[in-house]
Each structure stands twice: as structure tokens, then as C-alpha cells.
Structure 1
Amino acid sequence: MRPTVTAALGLVAALLAGCGPGPADPNEVVYWDTSGPAESAAFRDIAQECGRTGGYRVRVEAVAFDQALNDFKTAAQGGQGADVLRADVGWVAQLARAGVIRDLSGTPAADTSDFLPAALESTRYAGRTYAVPQVIDTLALFYDRRWLAAAGVRPPGTWDELEAVAPRLGGDRALFLNNDAYYALPFLYTDGGDLVDTRTRTITVNSPRSVRGVRKARELLDARAARTALDQPNSYATMKAAFTSGEVAMVVDGPWAVPEFGRSRRFADPANLGVAPVPGPAPVGGHDYVIRQGSRATAAATKFVECMSGTRNQARIAARIGLLPTRDSAYDAPEVARQPVVAAFRPLVVRAHDRPWIPESEELLDPLRTTYADILAGHQDTRAALDALAETYQEQVLPNYARR
């Protein structure tokens, strides 16, 4: 069972008060797993096997994803907490700057020869390597094959094409837009926009290109070519329910959603679930393994990360739950080659849009989430909303960046 927020905060409070566990065992790796219910059993099983075969013990602790970053930083600053964390790719630079994760440069764990280039970018900070890629992901356009075939429609390649074919798919039943920050990025990138330009240290979220891209999402709603949920916290769950129940023909989502789609009657036949590129450029996502700085179990933790991220175990994860390997060699494994969703996502990952791998990366998403939801709900004009967001970025997140 995943711990509640109260339990997680209670753990951190106990650690800070000096009431936490006793001295760490150098032969036991405490692994904080932030994966969801559809994934955690697979990671737990392989983690325990790594410990048995590697001569060390592994204690897997499921932690709430939305609490893990702050809990890990707080505990690590007190010399406590996990030895290994499954970190979102957007957290690594922040944790490295804070000095709470180990520099892996020059160690066997940081051997980059077999990893996909897109998966490696998030592991680096200030020219050093601080993480090992676990899984990589991006967004795709999932569609109901039977529905599109009956309408004589192919998966649209652009947002304009989607708007044009929507009447044949039932108008706003064509697509459900999740009003969350990560799902705003394909629109932001559509006309060459972005959140920031790290090379020139400029905030670009309100550039003309960014505004045109995000405005397209609102235009799809106005044209009744898509629908969304006004209740932002429940938007993702509402989107999945609409797709699996047959209310909408298409959604934009990631490979992590496939197991849940497959449990529905509509996609019990995997052949009915189509996967195509998102009409706009999709962002790179995924997770990395990081090792806590000062962990007494550093040697065992390093062996653990090497085991979990090895080709064989990445292939097993891909075959069992459909997540995308970060090692190129894992895609050649027979059990992976038989996974149609993994095969469909592989070219999408290769051309996925890079993100700003800066310590403030995660802090850019929270205000974008609110802004994007307001735009889709029609509460704010796109230009005014993104201008205000750029001001928030400069005042609260990136004071050393210029605004356009």
C-alpha cells in the first residue's frame, strides 16, 4: 500500500527530530519507489531479486510521487531517508545543486555507452553525472482504431487536421485534452515555442511562437473539436475514463497508461488501441535512479542501481508493464520486440523535444499547470495569461533570466 501524505510527512518529522531509524546498515539498500500501482509490483520484484543475487538486502518503500521530492530532500539533509530514489527526470539537477545526491561521474554506474542520448540529458548537472536512466517516456496520440476506421479517418498529423476531421468523429468527442502542465507542452512547442531558452537565459513562455501554440488548444475547444475537464485535479482521471468508456475517440497520454487502458472492455483486444505521434512535438519524460550523498550503503546502492538499470532487467520491465527502456540494447530483446506499444513509442522517444534540464525545471511546471487550466477553461486570454506566467517565472523562479 502506498503511504498517505500524513504518514510520509510524519516519517520526515521523525527523522528531523532524531527519532528515526537507527544507524544505517551498509548492506541494506532502502529504495524509495515512486511508481504507480500498475508498475510498483514489477519494480519491487526485480529490486528484491537484485538484492538476493547481489549479496545485499533491499527494502522497497512505496512513496507518494507528489511528496517524494520534498521528503527526500528534507530527509537527506538530515542524513536520513532513502539510499536510492526513483526520481523524475526534472528533479535531478535540483537535487544535484542541493548536494544531496552522489556524483556518479567516473563510476561504472555512469557508463553511458548503451543509453539512448535523450535519456542521458536529464542525468547531468554542471558537466557531471548524477543519475542513471531508469525509464524514458514521451506523449503519444492514443486512438480507438475501430472508431477511426468506421469514420474513414486516419490519425491526424497536425492540430489543424484534427480540427478538420473532428465532425466525422462526433465533434468534441474527437479528443480529450488533459489540462495539466506536461500535456500543455506539445501545444507550446507546436510553432517553435518553449518555456525558457537556457542558452540566452531568457524566459520564452510568452513569446509569439509560444502564444500561437497554446492558443491552438483553446481554439480546438472553441471549434468543438475537443473537450476538457474544468475540475483540474481530476482532469487526468476524467480523461482516462472518457477514453476507456468510449466517450472520446482519442487522448494524448504516455506509455504508463497502457495497462489501465488494457483493463477496459473497449481495449481488452490490444489491437484496438492505436498509437500515433502527437500532432505537436512531444516532451521527453521519464525517471532516473539517484543515490543519496552520504549513504552508508553507497557500495550496495551502486550495485543495486547497476542491476536495476541493466539490459536484462530493463527488458523484463518493458515486457511486463510496457515501459520504455533507456538502454538501446534492451529493445533488441525478443520479449521487448513483441511489445507493440514499446515498438510504437521507440521512434517517438528518439525525436521527442528536449526540456530545460535546470534545477528550476520542476518549479516551471506548477504555475504552468494553473495557467493552462485557466486558458482551457476560458478564464483568461492566452496572451495575457502567458505574459502573467512569464512575470511569475522571473519574480519567483528565475530572477536571473530576462523576459521577452
Structure 2
Amino acid sequence: MSERHDLRCGIETCGEYPCPISNNTGAPMCLSPLQGSVPANVEYNACMRRLAFLLRCLALVALALLPACTTINSSTTGAASSQPAAQRSATPIPLTLWHSWSGAKLNALNILARSYEQANPEVRIRLQSQAAPDMLRQYNLSVADGSGPQLLLTPGRYVGELAEQQQVAPLDDAFATETLTDVLAPALEGARVGQQLYGVPITFDTLVLFYDRRRSPSPPATFDELLALNASERSQPAEQRPLSLAYYLMLETTLPYLHAFGGVVVDAAGQPTFASTGKDATARWLEWLKTLQRDENVLASADFSAVDAAAQAGRAWSVIDWSHRRANYAQVWGADAVGVAPLPALAPDQPPRPLVLPQVLCINPVTSPEQRSAAQNFMRFMLEPASQELLASRSGLIPVHRLAQVAPDIQPFVAAASQSQGLVNNITDPDVWRPLNDMFRGVISGATSVSEALTTATTTLQPTPTP
């Protein structure tokens, strides 16, 4: 939470006014009375400093009165009401926003914060960068001791845990339905826990297929078409031929294809079913991933370094990866050669559902009513199409608002997200995610068979008997 200084000056003649602000630092310079006897020249200098300070205080009072005079005059002519002017003359409402953004994303966020301040001069927004690995832990501690920021920009997968610990404020009563109607539904799911809204998404990441348009002028629609990309090169030895696909196998990147096999992680009631009623679909999904690992025309591996090295060397003609990594493939293939498409289907009637991972703005529950109101208003501002368009144009971030106009190079990501699913917070619940991830990693690493991994997950998910 940003500090709201209300310190008072120690000099009797100006004890009713806030302390002056020190040069450059923004910290209050509290002056205390001189004590004890002092040489005459020091006492004279001190008196002159007091006199000068008193004159500055009087000048500040005079300046403070000017808006009030202006307000009265404008209100009598009907040009403006006295209420906004009174608010403008008050101490600005401070909002501190913690984030882990950098580079172009941070520049875009800063532009929007300053634009909001210009339209709302009663609010001051301070963007405070945090190291991504430590941000949530530091936020937890700061909320506990009352020093936390008013706003937190966090990946949506952490919203459930923050809500459970009551470290983000519920927002359902703060946003009218029409405000959220045009927000991408899967992104909004990442800001909900159950039916309760705990934040608003302002951008998102999603899985897409990047492909080299020099090798395939049109995007592969199915996995069979994708795997056939290097068909003309298969006379070469396997270690020398180009790869049809490079695919980093982790739970988040492969879950879209669980849906293609008819499986789900949790049912409509939020109960995990992947190792119980849905275990047949889960088994088919895991066996398919093992088949990909054995295909010599594909590099499907849990070793990110190996997958990335093959992609960066230009050996892979397509890659399944997150939307924010487009620039990586522009460097390899050339900007004009990078194709972007939705994930290919297993078959025409077996489409995957890629995950949407939103960045969510949340409010610290330990805030004053004025700060909470200002924070909610800033959230609405960040959802406006114009704000969303600036994020896209300045940093390449994908907007969550359906009416935002974006450049042609962003449009394929928006189209891909239309077929997506949200990473809902009951999936990221540790009691669900941990056995799901353990099962996945055991199979992909070869440590366990599919049937053994499913049996272990089933046992882990069984409720503990009550004594």
C-alpha cells in the first residue's frame, strides 16, 4: 500500500499544515523546534528560516483558496458544479499497483496510468515493479501487515488461492453485467472462483500453432496434415531431416487435447473426474502423447531446452507455443514467414480447446472506501476498447474486449482464443492440480505406465475417511 503521509510540522507557527516535501524524494521533511541555547548567528538564521517557511505556508494557503474561488464563480454560471472542484483541491487518492511487467508492456501500462490520471486528477497511480517469483509471497506478507498495494496484477491461475486466503476483494457488486458482456468469457473465468468475481482480466496468453509459411502456405487443419509437413524430406536420415513439429510437453500445453478425446479435468460441479468417470478419455490422451514422443518426424519432449534449440535452429517447420512468443519465430523464419493458426484438430470432429491464461487486476481487501472506489474505476478504464487497443498496439498484448480494434498480426490470436477454455480456478486447486500433474509427468518421463499413473491419481483423489 502506498504511504499516505499525514505528518505534522513541529514548528508552532505552521503546525496546522502538512510538512513540506523534500527535494526529489517525495518524503516528508518534518521539522522539529530548536532546543537548548544556540549562538546568536545560528538563532538568527533559524528565525529567518522560520520566517521563510511561514511565508511559504501562507503562499500555499493562498493557492489552495484559488480553486475554491474559481469553483464558486463557475458554479454561478452553470459551467461546472462545486463538487468536482472540491474533490480536485483535496489530497489525491493514492493507488499503488504491483506488477511484474517490463519492457514494452510496462511502457504501455504506464501510458494508460498517466492517461487515467489526466482524466481523474483526484487519483495518483504508482506502478511498482516486483520480481515475478517473489511477488505473490511479498503480497501475502504485505496484506497481512497492512502495507500492501491497493491493486495487484497477477496471472489468473493464482486468483483462487488469493481468494481462499481472503487477500483479494470480491467484486461482483462492483461491475454491472453490461461492463463484462464483451469481455472474452474464458479470460473472465480466470478471474472467478466459483461464481464470484475477484478481478478483471486485461489481457491473456493462449496456445497457437506457429508455422513456417514458406513450407506450408495454408495452416494445417488437422494433426495428420501437420505431421505430413516434412513428407518430402523423409528420404533423409532422421537426424538430418527437418521436423514437422516441435512441441514442449507440459500439462498446460497438452491439456487442450484432453478435450479432443472427450475428457475433462473437473465436471460442471467442480469435482475432479479425469481419473474416475473420465479416465478412459484421459488414458487415450496420454497414450497419444506417448505416440508423439516416438514419432521421429516430431520432437515432443518435456525438455524445453531441446525443443527450443530445435525451433531456434530452424529445424522445426511448426511449433505449438504460447502467443507471446511470436517474436521468437519471426527471428527464425522472418516476420513475413510466420503463420499463426488455431491448434490443429485430431480429426474434424475432435477439436482441441486451448487454454487462456489471463493477467488479472485484483483489489486488496485492506483499502479505504475511497481507494476501493478509485481502483474499481481504474479497472473499468482498463477494460475500455481504447485502453485495450493501446495495450495491443504498444506491446502486442492480446485484448480481452471483443470490440477492441487490433492490427492484422494480433487478429489470429484473437481468433484462436474464440475456441479456447479458461483455466478455471478449481483446476488449479492444489488438491486437483498436483495429482493431475504427477500423473502426467510420470507418463511423459516414462517412470510409470498410463494405467499405473491413473490408478495412483484415483487413489490420491479419494476423500480421506472421517474417523
Q: Taking structure 1 as the reference length, what is the TM-score of the superposition?
A: 0.78
- Alpha-carbon RMSD across the aligned residues, in angstroms, is 3.1
Match of 1:339 among 393, 408, 422: 408
Q: Shift in Å at residue 161 of structure 1?
A: 3.9
Q: What SS does the corresponding residue of 1:329 show, helix, strand or coil?
A: coil
1:64 to 113, 131, 138: 131
Q: Output one character per residue of 1:286-332: Cα deviation in whole Å (capped at 9) or x when no partner.
A: 122111101233233223222222211111111222222111111xx
Partner of 1:242: 310
In the alignment, what sits opposite 1:90? 157
2:110 corresponds, among 35, 38, 44, to: 44
Matched, 1:281 2:350: no
Correspondence for 1:261: 329
8 Å Cα contact 2:154-2:359 kept in structure 1: yes
Report the counterpart of residue 292 of structure 2 in structure 1: 220
Contact kept? 1:159, 1:216, Cα under 8 Å: no
Q: Distance in 2 between matches of 1:286 and 1:373?
A: 24
With 380-389 and 133-142 compared, the bigger mean Cα shift is at 380-389
Q: Greater share of helix residues, 1 or 2?
A: 1
Provide the residue aligned with 2:55 in structure 1.
none
Q: Determine which of 31, 35, 40 is the counterpart of 2:97.
A: 31
In structure 2, what is the Cα distance between the partners aligned to 1:299 and 1:375?
Answer: 49
Q: Are residues 1:129 and 2:197 paired? A: yes
User: Cα 1:328–1:400, aligned 2, differ >3 Å: closer, same or farther?
Assistant: farther
Moved more, 196-205 or 87-96: 196-205
Aligned 8 A contact 2:243 2:298 in 1? yes
- CA deviation vs aligned residue, 1:113-157 (integer Å, no higher than 9, x gap): 3322333223333433221121133211111111335xxxx5433
Give the deviation of 1:374 after TM superposition: 4.1
Q: What is the one-letter code of the residue matched to 1:158?
A: T
For residue 366 of structure 1, report the CA deviation from its aligned partner: 5.4
Please show how residues 4-403 of structure 1 align to structure 2 within 5 Å.
27-35=93-101, 37=103, 39-55=105-121, 56-108=123-175, 111-149=179-217, 155-168=219-232, 173-199=243-269, 201-205=271-275, 207-229=279-301, 231=303, 235=304, 238-262=306-330, 264-267=331-334, 270-279=335-344, 280-296=352-368, 297-330=371-404, 333=405, 336=406, 338-340=407-409, 342-358=410-426, 360-361=428-429, 364-365=432-433, 368-369=436-437, 371-392=439-460, 394=461, 399=463
Deviations 1:75-100 (A, max 9, x none): 32332322111122222233223222
Q: Which has the higher contact order (CA 8 A, sep 6+)?
A: 1
Q: Secondary structure at the match of 2:214?
A: helix
Question: Helix, strand or coil: the match of 2:333?
Answer: coil
Contact residue 30 and residue 59 of structure 1 kept, 8 A = yes
- Residue number in structure 2 paired with 1:7: none
Aligned length: 361
The 1:139–1:360 alpha-carbon spacing in structure 2 relative to 1, beyond 3 Å, is closer
Per-residue Cα deviation, 1:167-205 (whole angstroms, up to 9, x for no partner): 446667221221322112123222011222242724314
- Does the CA contact (< 8 Å) of 2:210 and 2:341 recur in 1? yes
Distance 1:72 1:200, change over 3 A: closer
Distance 1:363 1:72 in 2: 23
Q: CA deviation at 1:348?
A: 1.8
Report % sequence identity. Answer: 24
Which amino acid letter does the alignment assign opposite residue 379 of structure 2? V
Asked whether the equivalents of residues 142 and 148 of structure 2 are also in contact (C-alpha less than 8 Å), the reply is: yes
Specify whether residues 130 and 173 from structure 1 end up closer, same or farther in structure 2 by C-alpha distance, changes over 3 A only: same
Offset, 1:43 = 2.3
Q: Which amino acid aligns with 1:384?
A: E
| Residues 366 and 72 of structure 1: CA distance in aligned 2, closer, same or farther (over 3 Å) | farther
Structure 2 gaps, min length 5: 7-91, 345-351
TM-score (norm 2): 0.68
After alignment, is 104-113 or 286-295 more displaced? 104-113
